[in-house]
Structures are given as C-alpha cells and as structure tokens.
Amino acid sequence: MLVSAAVAIADARIGKYGERTFSGRPHTVMERSYIAFKSSAWIVVLSGFVEPLLYLFSFGYGLGKFIGTMNVGHGHVVTYAAYIAPALLATSAMNGAIYDSTFNVFWKIKFDRIYEGMLATSLGPLDVALGEIGWALLRGFAYAVGFTTVIVPMGLIQNWWGILAIPAAVLIAFGFAAIGMAITTYMNSFQQMNMIQVVMLPMFLFSGSFYPLSVYPHWTQEIIKALPLWHAITLVRSLTLGDISLGLLPHIAYFLVMIFLGLFFTTRRLTALFMR
Amino acid sequence: MNSPAPILIRATGLTKKYEDFVAVNGIDFSVAKGDSFGFLGPNGAGKSTTMRIIAATLNRSSGSIEILGKDPELHGPQIRAHLGVVPQQDNLDQALTVTENLYVYGRYFGLPKKFIRAKIEELLEFAALEEKRDVKVEALSGGMKRRLTIARALISEPEILMLDEPTTGLDPQARHILWDRLFRLKEQGVTLLITTHYMDEAEQLCDRLIVMDKGSIMAEDSPSGLIKTYSTKEVLEVRFGSDKNALVAGELEALCERIEVLPDRILMYGEDGEHLLHTMKESGLQPLTSLVRRSSLEDVFLRLTGRSLIE
Ligand SMILES: Nc1ncnc2c1ncn2[C@@H]1O[C@H](COP(=O)(O)OP(=O)(O)O)[C@@H](O)[C@H]1O
Ligand SMILES: [Mg+2]
C-alpha cells in the first residue's frame, strides 16, 4: 500500500521510547510561535528588555551613590551596581520565560484552542509542552543575553567565569517556563492567573536582589531560600563573581527538578485536557 | 469483479461514559475504504464523542476500536497521521494568516517545507481561498473558515477525512460550496466520515449511515435503504388547526399505512400521497393545508425515535 509522507514519518517512530506522548517534533511547535511572533507587538517585547535596565540605572547608579560598595564575602568588594546586576540578569531570564509560558499559554488553552488543533495531528503532548516551554525559554534567554551585552561593557562583570551566566540563564529560564506552563494548565480564570503576578513581584523584591538575606530574621531567610528566584540569583551572582564551588550544584539541581516537574505536569495536564 | 474494499475502521461495543453518564452506548460499525460514512443524529446523540475516539484524542470506556488495524489508545500519533480532522468548532490559529495556518499544520506532521509549499497552492485553489492567502483568519467568513479547516486537514494527504457537523451554522450558499468540495474528495477516493443533524446533508453526502440517538445506533443502511425500510414512498402532510389535529387523527389512521401526529400537523404515510389526499377529501375531511412530498431521513428518524431530528 502506498503511504503518505505523514504516515511514513509517524511510523518511523514505532517502538521508540514514549512514542505515544512524543513524536520528536517540538521544533515545529516553536516554529509556529516564531511565525506568530514575527507579526506581534514589538513594543511589548522591547519592554521586557528595557525593564531590568531601568532598575539597574535607578537603583544601581542612583541609589548606589548613597550605598557605595558591598562586601560580598570571600574578600570581594563590588560596587552596588555590580551587586544587583547579576540579580537583574537572573530576574530578566525569569520574566522572559514567564511571559510566554503563562498568560499566552492561558489564552491558547481557553480561547484559541491551539493545542486541540496541534494534538489532532501526529504530535504528542510532550512535543507541545517542550515546544511551548522551549519558546518561552528563548525569550528569557534573549533578555538575559541582551542585558549581559549592556552590562559587560559597563564593567559590571569582571570575571571570565561570568560567561557561565548565559548557560545559567538558559537553565533558569527553562525552569521558570516549565513550571509557569504547568501551573497555567491548571488555571481556570484570569483571577487565578493574576495570582502569578502577585507572587512574582515580592519574590523579586525579597530574594536578595538588592541586599543580602542576612537582614531578615532566620525563619524569613529559610522561606526565601526555598523560592526559585533566590537560587537563580545566588547562582548567577556566584558565577559573575567567580565564586565557583560545589556549593553551586544544589542551585543547579533545584532548576533541573523544576524542569522535570514542569514538563511532567504540563504533559500530563495537556493529555487530560485534550486527549481523554 | 473487485475484491471488497478493505475495512479501515471497525468498532465493537464501543462505549464512552462521562462519570455515570453514558454518552456512547456499545455501538458497532465498520467503515470500508472509499466509503462516505455518516453519523446522523440530534444534538447529544454521541456523534462528536465517537469522532474523537476515532481521532485518537479521547479514550473509550470499554469496547474495542481499530483504525487501520491499530488501537488508537496505543498508537495515537501513528493513527492521527492517517486522519484529517475537521472538528465541530473551528480551532484555526487566530494569530496566523491563511497560508501560515496551512504551513504550520503541515509542519506539525513533520512534513518537509518544500512539500508543504507546493501542497498549499493546491489546497488554496481547492478551497477557493487564493484571494485570501495572506489574510488573518479572524477576517474570514464562516464558510471560508470552514473551507480552510478542511484544507488544513488535507495538508497531510490523509486517507480518512473526518468532518464533525461540517455545515452547521453556514448559510445555504456556503453549504452548497462546501458539499461540492466534499463530493470532489469523495470522487478522489478519500474515505469520508461525516456527522450531521441535517437529513439533507446525510442524503447528499453519505453512501452509508448510522442513525444515532442517545448514544445508541437505531439503524444502519444507505439513505435510500433506510427510507425503504422505515418509511413509505410518500408522505402527505395535513393541518386541521392545532386543536382539531388530534380529533381527526383516529379517522385518518384508517386511511393510510401509518400516521404521526405532531403538534402543528399530521403526517400520513403511503405509497401515493395524491391518492391519499383524494380519499381523505372523499370521506368528508377538509384540511386547512395539505402537502405531498417524498419520504426523507427525517421521517426515518421520527419513526425510529418518535422525535424529530432538530428540536
Ligand atoms: N466532556 C464531557 N463531560 C460530560 N459530558 C459530556 C462531555 N462531552 C459530551 N458530553 C455529553 O455526552 C453526550 C454526547 O455528546 P456529543 O458526543 O457531543 O453529542 P453530539 O455530537 O451528537 O451532539 C451529550 O449529552 C453531552 O452533554
Ligand atoms: Mg457534536
């Protein structure tokens, strides 16, 4: 029997691990996002790039004038701008990733029913999850790279280890995108979606972005240390300062777990929503 | 002369329950290659549920189903690669243009870009959407959206095209354009699966159909076969005024093979409607209005369920 190209492609995966949930084509889902993105509002995209710079100039250089330098341990003394720059880098990776993986995903599930269309093809739910999370990650990555290209010439990263802040930003963006999408697939209303915003801002303000956690009582510190952004900031700051040690592994592990859980629950939920 | 066409879809005792509610109740059917197979039934009959189970996007509760010899719950992506799906509610990509919609859909199937680009030209012509190629989907009319959804479903050159209520909500002209396209596909040998609650659509498009109600199959045959089995050749519709219809019903019943008393009119079934009208008038009954017509699937449904297709 003569088979179509689509059938031949799908049949080539028979017997492969996870063939029911994964067809090996998340890039086609990302391609869709790219095409839609080309005609989207650039001003919105640009605002995500500019935001951390605003913080850097107002706090880093404005407030920094009064603060002077910060002692970050291990004999490092840095300007206040250099202290907050890695935190802003980590935060911009987070914000970029959250942007596409939450409100945009919510809209696609509830109103555009995009995933229903995708899952009627030979794609599987893990393709959709990876494709969407991958796209969201790219935005976080782009913001982090953009921010880095501004702060390096300003002398805010003076250490070659600082290059590792870029792969770290990918890891951070991946983790936030995965968890962001997973949570979104369980949301039912815009009120619930707004809760995400309500959590994000305080997390940014209190996760050691602007001053060390030591200002807080012990129990508050413990809570903050459980939050993902603290791990992200600590990881990126250590890299930009050149504090490389095995002590960074728990932060990396934290994000690997986030990625795993995010992918797992997103795939599971997409299956429940559109395939049973 | 020819060996019988191979069976592409075979369901036995297919059942779907939502919690305690039985939406599809142990149905059996099979669809052969090249068939144009219909599911006719009112809203809530279980048509969409059945379609989604076939399309490998909904798990059954019990029974078995094989599509091209495979179980959709075990080989979802492989089965979906054979199918073109036109869902009841359009789910076109609102952020994209007409051609972009076709393009990304082809990509989801993993098709090469060059293949898709050539296919898009063919499909735009087929769907009469050449003029609209770079228009965003939201600017299309209902009929155009439906044609685009069909074109999108054809991008992967599926063996089986599944259409869930393809013309619901379209104006008569748009419906006829759409039917014309579906005829062409049928001529090309594409196997069609169509659900509808319009009896004219079922009569026009389907070689074979099952009549569904409340999750069960009431009958299965060709449209003409169903009419032959469950109705008479002609129908005489008479009105005596809403308060009188019931009163004369007893007298009318004696004159014909079968009678259905509806709130606003009485349907009298027989081989010769004019003759029936004549004998009725001779026996002294003068209806306010009368109409002789051929039997339709609507009459079949009424006979099978005691209700009309469109409530
Ligand atoms: N997800 C669902 N949960 C609960 N009930 C459902 C669900 N989907 C459909 N139903 C019910 O199952 C029955 C059959 O629905 P459906 O297959 O959509 O019928 P049709 O397409 O023939 O109109 C209806 O009574 C409908 O309300
Ligand atoms: Mg339906």
How many Cβ atoms from other residues are within 10 Å of residue A142's Cβ?
A: 18
Residue from the list A10, A112, A118 with its beta carbon closest to the beta carbon of B81: A10
B159 DSSP 8-state letter? S
User: Which residue has 């020819």 as its token pair?
Assistant: B2
Q: B183 and B50, same structural domain?
A: yes
CATH number, residue B216: 3.40.50.300
Q: B283 and B212, same structural domain?
A: no
Q: Is residue B304 domain-resident? A: no
Q: B174 and B278, same structural domain?
A: no
Minimum CA–CA partner of B152 in chain A: A117
B6 DSSP 8-state letter? P
Q: How far is the CA of B10 from the centre of ligand 2 (A)?
A: 21
Q: Given this model, what pLDDT does residue B17 score?
A: 96
Measured CA to CA, the distance from residue A2 to residue B81 in angstroms comes to 14
Measured CA to CA, the distance from residue B167 to residue B228 in angstroms comes to 26
Q: Given this model, what pLDDT does residue B311 score?
A: 58
Domain span including residue B246: 232-295
* A193 in Cβ contact with A273 (< 8 Å): no
Three-state DSSP at B16 gives: strand
Q: Is residue B113 domain-resident? A: yes
Contact B111 A6 (CB under 8 A): yes
Q: Is residue B33 domain-resident? A: yes
B3 DSSP 8-state letter? P
User: Which residue has 């995708």 as its token pair?
Assistant: A118
Q: B152 and B89, same structural domain?
A: yes
The chain-wide mean pLDDT, for chain A, equals 91
- The CA–CA distances, whole Å, from A43 to A48, A95, A173, A213 equal 9, 16, 21, 35
CATH number, residue B260: 3.30.70.980
Structure tokens at A65: 């004038």
- Chain B environment of A274 (Cβ under 8 Å): 57
Residues of chain B predicted below pLDDT 50: 1
Task: Give the pLDDT confidence of B256-308 residue by residue, as tens digits.
Answer: 888 888 888 889 998 888 888 888 888 888 888 889 999 999 999 989 988 87
Which residue type occupies B85?
V
* B82 in Cβ contact with B6 (< 8 Å): no
Give one DSSP letter per residue of A231-249, joined into a string. Answer: HHHHHHHHHHHT--SGGGH
Q: B94 and B134, same structural domain?
A: yes
Contact B110 A117 (CB under 8 A): no
Q: B243 and B194, same structural domain?
A: no
Chain A residues with a Cβ under 8 Å from any Cβ in chain B: 4-7, 9-11, 13-14, 19-20, 23, 25, 28-29, 31-32, 35-36, 39-40, 112-114, 116-124, 274-276
Q: Given this model, what pLDDT does residue A18 score?
A: 86
A61 DSSP 8-state letter? I
Please give the biggest Cα pair distance in chain A: 78
Which residue type occupies A243?
D
Beta-carbon contacts of residue A25 (< 8 Å; ≥ 6 apart): A123, A127, A131, B107, B108, B110
* B259 in Cβ contact with B302 (< 8 Å): no
Q: B252 and B130, same structural domain?
A: no
Q: What is the ipTM of this complex?
A: 0.91
Q: Is residue B206 domain-resident? A: yes
Q: B192 and B95, same structural domain?
A: yes
Give one DSSP letter per residue of B104-147, joined into a string. Answer: HHHHHTT--HHHHHHHHHHHHHHTT-GGGTTSBGGGS-HHHHHH
Question: Among B94, B161, B81, which Cα is nearest to A114's?
Answer: B94
Residue B50 exposure: Cα atoms within 13 Å on the Cβ side: 38
Minimum CA–CA partner of A11 in chain B: B78
Q: B247 and B209, same structural domain?
A: no
Each domain of chain A, given as residue ranges in start order, spans 2-274
Q: Is residue B308 domain-resident? A: no
Helices marked H in chain A — which ranges? 5-11, 26-38, 42-55, 64-67, 80-101, 103-107, 114-119, 125-151, 165-185, 190-206, 218-225, 228-241, 249-274
- The total domain count for chain B is 2
A111 DSSP 8-state letter? I
Structure tokens at B166: 């393809």
Contact A274 B57 (CB under 8 A): yes
Which residue type occupies B46?
G
* B41 in Cβ contact with B307 (< 8 Å): no
Q: How far is the CA of A96 from the centre of ligand 2 (A)?
A: 39
Cβ(B54) to ligand 1 under 6 A?
no
- Burial category of B53 from C-beta neighbours within 10 Å (exposed 0-12, middle 13-18, buried 19 and up): buried
Alpha carbon nearest to ligand 1 atom 6, residue: B18
Q: B15 and B57, same structural domain?
A: yes
Q: B146 and B95, same structural domain?
A: yes
Beta strands in chain B (DSSP E): 7-18, 21-32, 36-40, 62-67, 83-86, 160-164, 191-196, 208-213, 216-221, 234-239, 258-261, 266-270, 289-294
Distance of CA A196 to the CA centre of its chain: 14
Q: Given this model, what pLDDT does residue B309 score?
A: 74
- Chain B environment of A121 (Cβ under 8 Å): 80-81, 105, 108-109, 156
Q: Given this model, what pLDDT does residue A144 score?
A: 93
Residues of chain A predicted below pLDDT 70: 1-2
Q: Is residue B92 domain-resident? A: yes
Task: Give the pLDDT confidence of A139-179 residue by residue, as tens digits.
Answer: 999 999 999 999 999 988 888 888 999 999 999 999 999 99
Q: Are strands A77-79 and A69-71 parallel, antiparallel or unpaired?
A: antiparallel
Measured CA to CA, the distance from residue B295 to residue B73 in angstroms comes to 41
Which ligand 1 atom is the nearest neighbour of the CA of B19?
4
Q: Are strands B36-40 and A77-79 parallel, antiparallel or unpaired?
A: unpaired
- Chain A environment of B75 (Cβ under 8 Å): 14, 19-20
Structure tokens at A143: 């913001």
Q: Is residue B309 domain-resident? A: no
Contact A6 B156 (CB under 8 A): yes
Between helices A125-151 and A165-185, what is the axis angle to 10°?
140
Q: Is residue B227 domain-resident? A: no
Q: B275 and B161, same structural domain?
A: no
